A = this chain, B = another copy of it.
């Protein structure tokens, strides 16, 4: 540690403080919350409406950032209702506000973004044509995805000044399609947590309840988008890092199968030859259309010609529009993975959603999870086949201390790297799970599964120790979306569980007893008056659910997602 300090001339704490100050100072004065507003924040955990009440955004900027859909905003830019410059400015301002409320930004790129937007306006004026599908849309990007000239740190102090010399391939593609890059967003130390906390950037909090986490590792995106400091962001997922934060933050995401979306240009610690389970890049957005637009734009240029790890499989819009909604869907409903029982609001929301689907004429059958515990453990084992040596090295380099959840992830790993044969054994076991899950799926003849995205809603800080609900679908490499499905209500705290939920059945004896009990206590702990604490602890927290289709069924899962959203709406269920 001493040696490293000598090398850099700075200790890790001062590097972190300096970086956090730099980010804060990059925010223009005119975007700063007034002392009065700041004072008001002390009394409230829920900051979700601050952008609209703080007085920083003009009426027109509020209109732009509150657009009902990304598709509409893009049309408004194309039709010159708004210029790209004013749209960009609106989102810069709103992102600045979001950062002050949640600590979600790592790079402030407003000058270059406005210059980019100006070019786009000029192009539209001169040619009458947009440059591409995303003409003028500000898109936010997770820290560890490279944008030329900006830092990609993986939340590591030792990488605090790691400036990318070129765009990640997906950024290059989105830029050509007309996206404007104006901010980068936080991720946790080494991406090794499902919350967003690092020494370098500090902690990102949920704007719905600052006692809670927006999730991770794409948690900066989640916090930013839930405040509409962005409508569409780019994150990554190898174990749930798109889906957990989306579920915790009232937004949509789609984790595609490996090999659909370009991944060249991510900076992080995993060996680039590790392919047993792979990290994917994906969108997080305020609506389903954002997920579609992202995939359509990403695949329009046939990126498999440049990045040969991708599958040559064009985006097939027909599936989304017509493919799946002409016949009744057959949906598997999984209330519980048999490992950690989800909290009551999630169970309630699942059952409400199932009912709405049935009312819309679809068929819902129970989905009985088989060995999700084994799959979940296997997935984690694949991440750490080399005992996380590169991550340990990068952490050690600055001498920074482990954050609690990273300590949890790294402690107790096997002590030496696997042999190649041991590694192949993991891959073989992965393949056996994929075969047996496909068999179950074929026997049940389902189109998709609806299930929890996590056993909890937005978690209390440093409590996220169960990744199983998302992990298994990385192992299976399934196309998996997350969508908003209500919020925590007072009724979720009644002593009785929701109707039809049997505590013994839902907290099975053969599960990871200890972890299950930890989660159970988080909700069912009681105050002095015997009242269940859950609803108060998790007050204002959104509920997000997971929708799972098979491998390479990205179009299909979005088609079904539209149907589910519509069924919930027709059933009188609010997104939040």
Stretch at the interface among A92-100, A518-526, A550-558: A550-558
Contact of A426 (CB < 8 Å), options: B273, B441, B476, B553? B273
Q: Tell me the smallest distance from the CB of A277 to a CB of chain B, in Å.
A: 12
Contact B305 A438, beta carbon cutoff 8 Å: yes
Nearest residue (CB) in B for A431 is B309
Contact B551 A420, beta carbon cutoff 8 Å: no
Q: Does A82 have its Cβ within 8 Å of any Cβ on chain B?
A: no
Bitwise interface map of A from 393 to 429 toward B, beta carbon under 8 Å scored 1, else 0: 0000000000000000000000001111111111111
Given contacts A386-B420, A420-B422, contact A477 B271 (CB under 8 A): no
Q: Tell me the smallest distance from the CB of A173 to a CB of chain B, in Å.
A: 15
Contact B308 A550, beta carbon cutoff 8 Å: yes
The residues of B that contact A423 with a CB separation of less than 8 Å are: 273, 420, 423
Select the residue from A259, A275, A442, A550 with max chain B CB neighbours within 10 A: A275
* Bound complex: CA A259 to CA B434 (Å): 14
The residues of B that contact A552 with a CB separation of less than 8 Å are: 304, 311-313
Q: Does A474 have its Cβ within 8 Å of any Cβ on chain B?
A: no
Contact of A273 (CB < 8 Å), options: B259, B274, B428, B441? B428
Q: Tell me the smallest distance from the CB of A412 to a CB of chain B, in Å.
A: 19
Q: Tell me the smallest distance from the CB of A104 to a CB of chain B, in Å.
A: 33
Contact A421 B417, beta carbon cutoff 8 Å: yes
Given contacts A438-B306, A438-B307, contact A428 B271 (CB under 8 A): yes
* Bound complex: CA A442 to CA B306 (Å): 8
Nearest residue (CB) in B for A439 is B306
The residues of B that contact A417 with a CB separation of less than 8 Å are: 419-421
The residues of B that contact A264 with a CB separation of less than 8 Å are: 435
Bitwise interface map of A from 296 to 326 toward B, beta carbon under 8 Å scored 1, else 0: 0000000011111101110000000000000
Contact B427 A553, beta carbon cutoff 8 Å: no
The residues of B that contact A304 with a CB separation of less than 8 Å are: 551-552
The residues of B that contact A500 with a CB separation of less than 8 Å are: none
Given contacts A273-B431, A423-B273, contact A438 B551 (CB under 8 A): no
* Bound complex: CA A428 to CA B421 (Å): 18
* Bound complex: CA A552 to CA B260 (Å): 13
Nearest residue (CB) in B for A271 is B424
Contact of A420 (CB < 8 Å), options: B259, B420, B477? B420
Q: Does A272 have its Cβ within 8 Å of any Cβ on chain B?
A: yes
Q: Does A385 have its Cβ within 8 Å of any Cβ on chain B?
A: yes
Select the residue from A308, A477, A552 with max chain B CB neighbours within 10 A: A308
* Bound complex: CA A309 to CA B259 (Å): 12
Contact B308 A311, beta carbon cutoff 8 Å: no
The residues of B that contact A435 with a CB separation of less than 8 Å are: 264, 307-308
The residues of B that contact A305 with a CB separation of less than 8 Å are: 438, 441-442, 550
* Bound complex: CA A159 to CA B459 (Å): 56
Bitwise interface map of A from 252 to 287 toward B, beta carbon under 8 Å scored 1, else 0: 000000010000100000011111000000000000
Contact of A551 (CB < 8 Å), options: B273, B308, B386? B308
Contact of A272 (CB < 8 Å), options: B428, B438, B550? B428
Select the residue from A273, A426, A553 with max chain B CB neighbours within 10 A: A273
Contact B313 A311, beta carbon cutoff 8 Å: yes
Contact of A553 (CB < 8 Å), options: B312, B424, B439, B553? B312
* Bound complex: CA A419 to CA B385 (Å): 10
Bitwise interface map of A from 541 to 573 toward B, beta carbon under 8 Å scored 1, else 0: 000000000111100000000000000000000
Nearest residue (CB) in B for A426 is B273
Tell me the residues in window 425-464 of chain A with beta carbons closer than 8 Å to chain B beta carbons: 425-431, 434-435, 437-439, 441-442
Contact of A427 (CB < 8 Å), options: B275, B313, B385, B437? B275
* Bound complex: CA A455 to CA B489 (Å): 74
The residues of B that contact A274 with a CB separation of less than 8 Å are: 424, 427
Contact B307 A421, beta carbon cutoff 8 Å: no
Contact B550 A421, beta carbon cutoff 8 Å: no
* Bound complex: CA A553 to CA B439 (Å): 29
* Bound complex: CA A264 to CA B476 (Å): 17
* Bound complex: CA A115 to CA B425 (Å): 41
Nearest residue (CB) in B for A312 is B552
The residues of B that contact A309 with a CB separation of less than 8 Å are: 431, 434
Q: Tell me the smallest distance from the CB of A47 to a CB of chain B, in Å.
A: 43
The residues of B that contact A438 with a CB separation of less than 8 Å are: 305-308
Q: Tell me the smallest distance from the CB of A271 to a CB of chain B, in Å.
A: 4
Nearest residue (CB) in B for A270 is B424
Can you give 14 A-B contacts (C-beta < 8 A)? A271-B428, A272-B428, A272-B431, A275-B427, A305-B438, A307-B435, A307-B438, A308-B476, A312-B552, A313-B313, A313-B552, A418-B420, A419-B419, A420-B422
- Residues of chain A whose beta carbon lies under 8 Å from any beta carbon of chain B: 259, 264, 271-275, 304-309, 311-313, 385-386, 389, 417-431, 434-435, 437-439, 441-442, 476-477, 550-553
Q: Which 3 A-B pairs have the closest CB atoms?
A: A273-B424, A273-B427, A273-B428
Contacts A273-B425, A309-B431, A313-B552 known; 10 new A-B pairs at CB < 8 A = A272-B424, A273-B428, A275-B275, A305-B550, A307-B438, A308-B477, A385-B420, A417-B420, A417-B421, A420-B423
